[in-house]
């Protein structure tokens, strides 16, 4: 008689954390200040205010918006504040920076929603492979969040992990 098959991974008590769950999925948009400058270089207050007043802001509705200037122009601080005042009631999120910075900030905000208490004294595997490419900063941030509470952190898949941290 053969011995019953035992799934040691299932019995190990490992918790797998898939970072794809926190990947920013909402629609994004960019607001490039350059598009509202005289000759793409100079901010004329009166013209700028008029342009913002007449802009169709609905294109930013419920989107994550990157606010930046792609031109090498001097933009006064109040101009960014003015755009933010228009965007804040309609956009889901506004980030000062380009699309890459927007993605990073939204990802970090999503990670902050992780309830670290549910990982207290647990052995956690941070899933390493998936359909969506996850940037390195995300793995560093989740390590910073979990390290104070977990028993151990590993990277990879439950059947093949790389140890990262173990509480002594």
What tens digit of pLDDT does each residue of 14-66 get?
A: 999 999 999 999 899 999 999 998 887 788 899 999 999 999 999 999 999 99
b/e per residue 92-111 (b: at least 16 CB within 10 A)? bbbbeebeeebbbbbbeebb
Yes or no: say if 95 and 108 are a contact pair by the CB < 8 Å rule. Answer: no
Print the domain residue range for 43.
28-91
* Inside any domain, residue 145: yes
* Inside any domain, residue 126: yes
135 and 81 together in one domain: no
* pTM, rounded to two decimals: 0.80
64 and 39 together in one domain: yes
Looking at per-residue pLDDT, the higher value among 9 and 116 belongs to 116
121 and 150 together in one domain: yes
**Domain count along the chain:** 2
19 and 60 together in one domain: no
14 and 47 together in one domain: no
* Inside any domain, residue 2: no
Please tell me the predicted confidence (pLDDT) of residue 22.
Answer: 92
Q: Which of 46, 64, 91 is the last residue of a domain?
A: 91
CA distance 25 to 84: 22
């Amino acid at each position: 008689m053969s011995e019953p098959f035992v799934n040691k991974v299932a019995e190990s008590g490992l918790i797998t954390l898939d970072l794809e769950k926190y990947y920013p999925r909402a629609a994004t948009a960019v607001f490039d200040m350059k598009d509202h400058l005289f000759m793409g270089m100079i901010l004329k207050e009166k013209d700028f205010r008029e342009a913002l007043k007449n802009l169709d802001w609905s294109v930013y509705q419920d989107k994550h918006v990157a606010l930046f200037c792609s031109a090498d122009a001097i933009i006064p601080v109040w101009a960014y504040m003015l755009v933010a005042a228009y965007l804040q009631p309609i956009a889901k999120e506004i980030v000062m920076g380009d699309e890459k910075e927007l993605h990073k900030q939204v990802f970090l905000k999503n990670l902050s929603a992780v309830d670290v208490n549910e990982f207290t004294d647990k052995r956690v595997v941070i899933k390493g492979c998936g359909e969506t490419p996850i940037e390195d900063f995300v793995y560093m941030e989740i390590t910073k969040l979990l390290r104070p509470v977990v028993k151990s952190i590993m990277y990879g898949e439950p059947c093949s992990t790389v140890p990262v941290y173990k509480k002594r």
